[in-house]
Amino acid sequence: MDGVENVLEIRGLCKRYSGFALTNVSFSVPRGYVMGLIGPNGAGKTTTLKTILGLLQPDFGEIRTFGLDAALHGKKARARIGFVHDDPRFYDHLSLAQNAHIVRRFYRTWDPESFQRLAKSFGLPLEKRFGTLSRGNKTKFALALALSHRAEFVIMDEPTSGLDPVFRRDLLDSLTDLLQDERTSILFSTHITSDLERIADYITLIQHGRVVFSVAKDEILERWALVKGGLDLLDQLPADTFRGVRRGEHGFEALTDDAEATRARLGDAVIIDRASLDDVVLYTSGAASADEMVNVGASTLADDVGAEGGRTDA
């Protein structure tokens, strides 16, 4: 990503709460690309997105949007950003048209035709009150607003949660169309990784408040793999061979971040399959029970690509 203009740069972001902390979060979103932000519930995705928008104040670290310090130039940055909250909040007693009428005045680049087109395409009943809409329609409305002021950077927090598969596909297609101008960038947080496999160019994985990796999606799909073999083989291997291991009764399934090296090392003794993003999240989070899964090499996760230097919070 070096040398490409970035719409977002986060360096050493730290934010501490009681019982949770974002630690040394660093990644960038290049102009014209889609960055997927994945991680299990409670990993820190929403906290990260909120600090970008200025809804939360970081304890330490730097956030730059369009090259500007977000803390000093938040107003200017937000004029160019479209944001979809995980729980869209507008005024329940007003209709969608009335809510849009309020929002549009704040954006000098508002495109009324674009809004009408999106509302029609999303099947939004503009005369209905916002409070009477389903969760899915609320998200669609928030999306329509976010996309109607020609935002150069669209940030979406779990936008496809609660949406039906048909609309999810249509939404992803709309986002793909949006990217044709090579000017619009998208940061898309989700735990539905199949959506990102369709449209994301880059993936950042956050676990327990830390960035595990921030790399091109294709690199993940090429480098990471599922390895299946016998338990006797597993017992012979060093503990840190794999990123996560799942023991079964007769064999194991493990995740490796270097499929080629694993193939060269273990050869025909194992079966190597392509790992999905879901697999990567599952195995790196150690989400299964302790009997089934051993998450090894956890202390080395922060050494992966994308986690750059910065003082950790005290």
Partner 1 sequence: MTTAQQDHGTAQAWGLGRNDWLLIRRDWILNRVSILMAAFVFATFQVLIVQVPIDLPYIWVFITCMWAAFLTLGPLGRDEKFRGAAWSCSLPVSRPDLVRARYVGAWGLVGTAYLLALAMAVVVPGSKVSVSFAIDLDTLLVGATIVSVILSFLLPSVIRFGMKGILVLMLPLNILLPITFVVSKATGTQDSLEGNFLAGLQALALMIAGIRDGLSRPLFYVVAVLLLYAVNWASYRLAVALFLRREF
Is residue 171 part of the contact set for partner 1 (CB under 8 A)? no
3-class secondary structure, 107: coil
Of 29, 34, 63, 85, which lies in the binding site for partner 1, with binding defined by CB under 8 A?
85
Nearer to partner 1, 90 or 242 (CB): 90
Nearer to partner 1, 8 or 293 (CB): 8
Both structure tokens of 218: 């294709």
Dist. CA 259–CA 79, nearest whole Å: 43
Is residue 106 part of the contact set for partner 1 (CB under 8 A)? yes
Dist. CA 44–CA 49, nearest whole Å: 9
Nearer to partner 1, 79 or 305 (CB): 79
Is residue 90 part of the contact set for partner 1 (CB under 8 A)? yes
Nearer to partner 1, 94 or 233 (CB): 94
Of 108, 264, 290, 291, which lies in the binding site for partner 1, with binding defined by CB under 8 A?
108
Minimum distance from residue 91 beta carbon to partner 1 (Å): 5
Nearer to partner 1, 73 or 117 (CB): 73
Tally Cβ neighbours within 10 Å of residue 275: 22
Is residue 92 part of the contact set for partner 1 (CB under 8 A)? yes
Of 33, 60, 66, 83, which lies in the binding site for partner 1, with binding defined by CB under 8 A?
83
Is residue 53 part of the contact set for partner 1 (CB under 8 A)? yes
Task: For residue 299, give every residue at least 6 positions away whose Cβ sits within 8 Å of its Cβ, in sequence order, or none.
Answer: none
* C-alpha to C-alpha distances, 66 to 7, 29, 84, 178, nearest whole angstrom: 5, 10, 19, 18
**Contact set for partner 1, span 249-278 (CB under 8 A):** none
Q: Phi first, then psi: give them for residue 181, nearest 5 degrees.
A: -75, -5
In our burial notation (b when 16+ CB lie closer than 10 A, e otherwise), range 107-136 reads beebeeeebeebbeebebebeebbeebeeb
Interface ranges with partner 1 (CB under 8 A): 50, 53-57, 74-76, 78-79, 83, 85, 89-92, 94, 98, 101-108, 110
